[in-house]
Amino acid sequence: MEDLFQTEMNERDEAVRLRSELEEANYKYYVLNQPTLSDRDFDFKMKRLQALEERYPDLRTPDSPTQHVGSDLAKKANGFEQVAHRYPMLSLANSYSREEIEDWVRHLPADVEIVAELKYDGLSISLHYEQGRLVRALTRGDGVRGDDVLRNIRTIDSIPAYVQGLPDYYEIRGEVLLPWEAFERLNKEREEQEEPLFANPRNAASGTLKLLTPAEVARRGLTCRLYHVLGENLPGLTHTERLEQARKWGFPVSENMQVCHSVDEVMAFIERWDTERKNLPVATDGIVLKVNSIAAQQELGFTAKTPRWAIAYKFPAERQLTLLRQITYQVGRTGVITPVANLEPVQLSGTMVQRATLHNEDFVRQLGIREGDRVWVEKGGEIIPKITGKEETGEQQATGDYQFITHCPECGTALVRAEGEAAWRCPNENGCPPQQKGKLEHYVSRKAMNIDGLGEETIDLLWEKGLVRNIADLYDLKESDLSGLEGFGQKSAQRIIEGINASKQVPWERVLFALGIRMVGETTAKKIARRFRSLQDLQWATVEQLTAVEDVGEQIACNVTAFFERADNLAVLVRLQEAGVQFAAAEGVDEVVSNELEGMSIVISGVFEKHSRDEYKALIEKHGGKNVGSISKKTSFVLAGANMGPEKRKKAEALGIPIEDEDTFLRRIGAL
C-alpha cells in the first residue's frame, strides 16, 4: 500500500513539473520566439501529462496546457489591439509515424477523402473580410483572442486588401512566412550589429509581424500561404473546392496539395515532399492531413485544443553524429566572446556543416561537451546548425573538465563577466583589433552612417595598411590613399570619399546609434536622442536622467555614462565634431514643444479620426509625455478612439483611470 501511495505522489509531482515545463516552453516559443524544446520533445511531455491527467482527473484543470493552445499574446501590451476570434483558432495534434496516422484514420468515417498539404512553418494568421475589404488580421493568440496586426499585414503584397464578388463576411487563415533568402539577409544584418540571430524563419516571421514600425516590416519581405476558409454560405462542399475558389479570388493558396484515399497515398506524399521541400523558397516542417468533406468536418468536431478532422505529420529533424575537433573563440564588436565548435565536416540538408555556435560558457556546460566528443548536429527546420548533445558511448571520447578561456584570444586582456550576464567580454574595447574593426563596420553600416563601399573586406584592407584604427580616421582619408590600393580605381575611391562626406549630414539619432555604445540599438538611440538633443546634453546626463527615458534601463544608462568617461572615446568624439558630423538634432525635428504632459504616462487605444495612432504618439512625446502600452495604477489617462479595446476599458474603469477622447486631448495640448 505504501508503494502505491508513493507512486501516486511521485506521478502527481511529475505532472506539476510537466505543466511548468510545458507552460514555459509555450511562452518561449510563442511570445519570445526562442524555442527551447524540439517539437518531438514537447509532444512527448504533453502526451505524458495527458496520460497522468487521465489517471488522476482532478489534475485536469482549465489552465492545464493540455486544455488550451499555446499563446503568442504578450504578457505586456505590445501596441496591438487584442480581438476575440469569431471561430476558435486551435492548434493541430502532431504525429511522427505511419502508425499514428493509421490510428487517426481509424477514427474517421469510412471511405473519407483526406487532403494532404504542406505544413508551412510561420506565424498563424486569420484574415477577416467584410464587404470585400480586409478589416482585421488576427494572430492565433491564445486561440480565443489574438493581436490585430492589420497595419503590418497590409505590407505583404500577396494579400489583397479588397476582393470583389465575395460573401459579406468570411475569414481565410494561413501562415505568414519569411522566405529563406530574406531570412538569410536579415540574419546577416543582425550578425553585423551583434544582435541575437533568429534560429529559423518561423521565429523571424513572428518577430517581424509584431514590430511596431510597418516600414521595417515591409523592408523585411514577408510573404504568405493561405489554407483554410471559414464563414457562412461559402461556395463549395469540400475543403479543396473552397481553396480552389479562394485561389480564383486572388489569394495566395498553395498548389502543392493532393486528395488521398488511403494511408499508402498519404505516406507517398509525405516521402516525396520530405525531399522536395528543400527546393521551396519558404520553410516547411511537415504535412497537414485534413478531411476533405466540410460536412464530415462538422460532424467530427473538436477537442478542447484540436480539430478531430485534421492532424499534422512532423518531418524528423535532420541530424548527424560527428567529431568535435576543437572549440575556438570569436571576439565580437562589443567584446563578447563566443565559443565556436569546429567539426569534422558533415552534410545536413544539402550543405556541408563544419562550424556551429556554442553561444556561451553556460551553454557548453549544459551540453557537457568537450573537444574530442562525438556530438549530434541538427538542422531540422532551422537553417543555423546547432549542437543538441553528445554520444554517451563511443571510441573517441574527451577527458577532463571543460575550461572557458580566461584571456582574450586576440589581445590577451583578462576577460570579465558582469553579474547576471551569460557572456564573457574583453574590456579592451579600443585596443582589441576585432572590436576596433567591428566598431568601424558598425559605424559605416546602412542603418548607421550608411557609407557605401566600406564593407568588411575593405575595412580589413584599410586596417592592414594602417590607414584606419578608429571611426574618426575615416574622415582623414583621401582619394589618393585609396586609389593606390589593390582592387581600387579612381571611381571606387571617389565613391567612398563621397560617401564619407555625405555621412556628415546623417541626423543625430543615427549618429548616436553609429557610435556603437553597448546595448544602445537603433530604437533606443532614437529615444535617447529625442530626450538629449545634442552630444553635449547627453555627455553630462546622469544615470537617473537616462533611466527616465522610455525603455532605458539601468544597465543601458550605465553603459552610456561609462562611454563618456573614457578619455579615448572623448578624443574620437572631438575629431568627429571637427570633421562636421552632426552631434545635435535639427530644429523642429521631434522637438518638445511644451511640458503640458510632463511626467504623464499615457495609453492609446482605439481608432481615431483627426490623427493616426503614430501621430498621436508623436504629439504625446512632443508635449513631454510618455507612451506606454499597458494600463496600470501609474497610467495618467487613456487616449481613446472608436472601438477602444474592451479589456483596456474594463481595466481603466476598475482602476479609476480617466479616459479622454481625441477632442479633449487636443484641447489639453492646445491643438484644437
Q: Which grid coordinates are listed for 75?
A: 504578457
Q: What is the pLDDT at residue 359?
A: 87
| pLDDT at residue number 68 | 58
Q: Decide: 604 and 616 in contact? Cβ < 8 Å.
A: yes
Same domain flag for 121 and 218: yes
Taking the CB of residue 614, how many other CB atoms lie within 10 A of it? 13
Residues annotated as part of the active site: 119
Quote the pLDDT of residue 72: 57
Boundary-marking domain end, from 254, 285, 314: 314
Q: How far is CA 559 from CA 427, 476, 517, 554, in A?
A: 12, 28, 7, 9
Both 381 and 453 in one domain: the answer is no
Residues 92 and 46 both lie in one domain = no
Highest-pLDDT range among 26-40, 314-328, 461-475: 461-475
Q: Which pTM value belongs to this model?
A: 0.55
CA distance to 286, 605, 608, 662, per residue, from 640 (Å): 44, 5, 8, 7
CATH number at residue 40: 1.10.287.610
Which range has the top average pLDDT, 164-173, 254-263, 339-348?
A: 254-263
Asked if residue 259 and residue 170 are part of one domain, the reply reads: yes
Q: What are phi and psi of 216, to 5 degrees?
A: -70, -35
Mean pLDDT value of segment 181-206: 80
Q: pLDDT band at residue 478, thresholds of 50, 70 and 90?
A: very high
Same domain, 112 and 188: yes
Residue 587 counted as domain residue: no
Q: How confident is the model at residue 54 (pLDDT cuts 50, 70, 90)?
A: confident
Query: Tell me, what CATH number does 142's domain have?
Result: 3.30.470.30
pLDDT band at 73 (very low <50, low <70, confident <90, very high): low
Query: What pLDDT is attached to residue 76?
Result: 43
Lowest mean pLDDT among 95-104, 174-183, 488-497: 488-497
pLDDT bracket for residue 536 (50, 70, 90)? very high
Would you say residue 252 has pLDDT above 90? yes
CB 240 within 8 A of CB 312: no
Give the per-residue pLDDT at 132: 87
- Residues with Cβ within 8 Å of residue 422, at least 6 apart in sequence: 359, 360, 361, 362, 363
The tens digit of pLDDT for each residue in 484-503 reads 788 788 888 899 999 999 99
- CB of 560 closer than 8 Å to CB of 528: yes
440 and 419 in a common domain: no
Final residue in a domain of this structure, among 289, 314, 339: 314
What cell numbers appear for 548 in the block? 527616465
What per-residue confidence (pLDDT) applies to 69?
54
- Per-residue pLDDT band at 655 (split at 50, 70, 90): confident
Looking at the structure, tell me whether residues 6 and 136 fall in a common domain.
no
Q: Which three cell numbers stand for residue 317?
A: 529533424
Residues 535 and 464 in one domain: yes
In this structure, are 373 and 461 located in the same domain?
no
* Residue 381 pLDDT: 52
Question: Which pLDDT score is estimated for 148?
Answer: 92
SS3 (DSSP) at 381: coil
Dist CA 394 CA 478 (whole Å): 60
In 293-432, where does DSSP find H-type helix?
294-300, 361-367
**Number of domains composing the chain:** 5
Same domain? For 251 and 149 the reply is: yes
Question: Tell me, what's the pLDDT at 433?
Answer: 93
**pLDDT at 39 (0 to 100):** 63
Q: Are residues 651 and 629 in contact, defined by beta-carbon separation less than 8 angstroms?
A: no
CB atoms near residue 480 (< 10 Å): 10
Question: Does residue 37 form part of some domain?
Answer: yes
pLDDT of residue 566: 92
Strand partners, 223: 177
Cell 555614462, residue? 561
Q: Is residue 64 predicted with pLDDT exceeding 80?
A: no
Q: What is the chain's mean pLDDT, rounded? A: 85
Q: Residues 27-51: pLDDT tens digits?
A: 666 555 555 566 667 777 777 877 7
Q: Which residue has the cell 504568405?
A: 224
**How far is it, in rounded angstroms, from Cα 441 to Cα 457?**
10
Do you know the residue count of the chain? 672
Label residue 283 by pLDDT band (50, 70, 90). confident
What is the pLDDT averaged over residues 413-437?
Answer: 90
Q: What is the pLDDT of residue 145?
A: 87
- Confidence (pLDDT) at 646: 73
DSSP secondary structure letters along 76-143: S--SS-EEE-SS------EE-SHHHHHHHHHTSPTT--EEEEEEE-SEEEEEEEETTEEEEEEE-TTS
- Domain boundary (286, 314, 342) is at 314
Per 3-state DSSP, what percentage of the chain is helix, strand, and coil (rounded to 5)? 40, 20, 40
Confidence of residue 508 (pLDDT cuts 50, 70, 90): very high
544 falls within a domain: yes
Which of 85, 97, 156 is closest to 122 using CA atoms?
156
Task: Specify which of 337-346, 373-382, 453-462 reaches the highest per-range mean pLDDT.
Answer: 337-346
Q: What angle is formed at CA 112 by the lines to CA 109 and CA 114, rounded to 5 degrees?
A: 125
The parent domain of residue 473 ranges over: 433-579
Residue 614: which CATH number? Answer: 3.40.50.10190
Percent of the chain with pLDDT over 90: 43
Rounded to 5 degrees, φ, ψ at 129 are -115, 130
* Alpha-carbon distances, residue 275 vs 53, 256, 272, 316, 607 (angstroms): 38, 14, 6, 12, 47
Alpha-carbon distance values, 553 to 195, 207, 286, 442, 525 (Å): 18, 22, 42, 23, 13
The residues, any chain, with a CB within 8 Å of residue 67's CB and separated by 6 or more, are 60, 61, 304, 305
What CATH number is attached to the domain comprising 341? 2.40.50.140
Give which of 592, 598, 573, 614 is closest to 530, Cα–Cα. 592
Non-local CB neighbours of 77 within 8 Å, separated by 6+ positions: 603, 629, 630, 631
Beta bridge partners of residue 123, listed in sequence order: 176
pLDDT for the residue numbered 519: 85
165 and 275 within one domain: yes
Residue 246: closest CA among 304, 334, 350, 174? 174
Query: Residue 550 in 3-state DSSP?
Result: coil
Tell me 429's DSSP state.
T
590 band by pLDDT with thresholds 50, 70 and 90: low
pLDDT band at 114 (very low <50, low <70, confident <90, very high): very high
Q: Rounded CA gap, 240 and 228, in Å?
A: 9
**Domain assignment of residue 76, yes or no:** no
**Is 440 among the domain residues?**
yes
Q: Smallest Cα–Cα separation from 361: which of 321, 416, 411?
A: 416
pLDDT, position 506: 94
Mean pLDDT of 144-148: 89
Work out the percent of the chain whose per-residue pLDDT is above 70.
Answer: 89
Q: Taking a C-beta distance cutoff of 8 angstroms, is the pair 335, 194 a contact?
A: no
Residue 18 lies in a domain: yes
CATH number, position 477: 1.10.150.20
Express each pLDDT in 387-411 by its tens digit. 888 887 655 455 567 889 999 999 9
Q: What is the rounded distance in angstroms from the CA atom of residue 369 to the CA atom of residue 397?
A: 10
Whole-angstrom CA distances from 215 to 176, 219, 221, 519 are 17, 6, 11, 23
Query: C-alpha cell of 447?
Result: 542603418
In the prediction, which pLDDT does 194 show? 61
Contact 292, 301 (CB under 8 A): no
**pLDDT at site 672:** 72
Residues 459, 526 within the same domain = yes
| Predicted pLDDT of residue 77 | 42
Q: For residue 265, is pLDDT > 50?
A: yes
Asked if residue 596 belongs to a domain, the reply is: no
Sheet holding 114-120, edge to edge: 94-95, 310-314, 284-291, 114-120, 257-260
pLDDT band at 351 (very low <50, low <70, confident <90, very high): low
Q: Are residues 212 and 79 in contact, defined by beta-carbon separation less than 8 angstroms?
A: yes
In a domain, 212, yes or no: yes
Distance CA 425, CA 420 (A): 13
Binned at pLDDT 50, 70 and 90, residue 608 comes out as confident
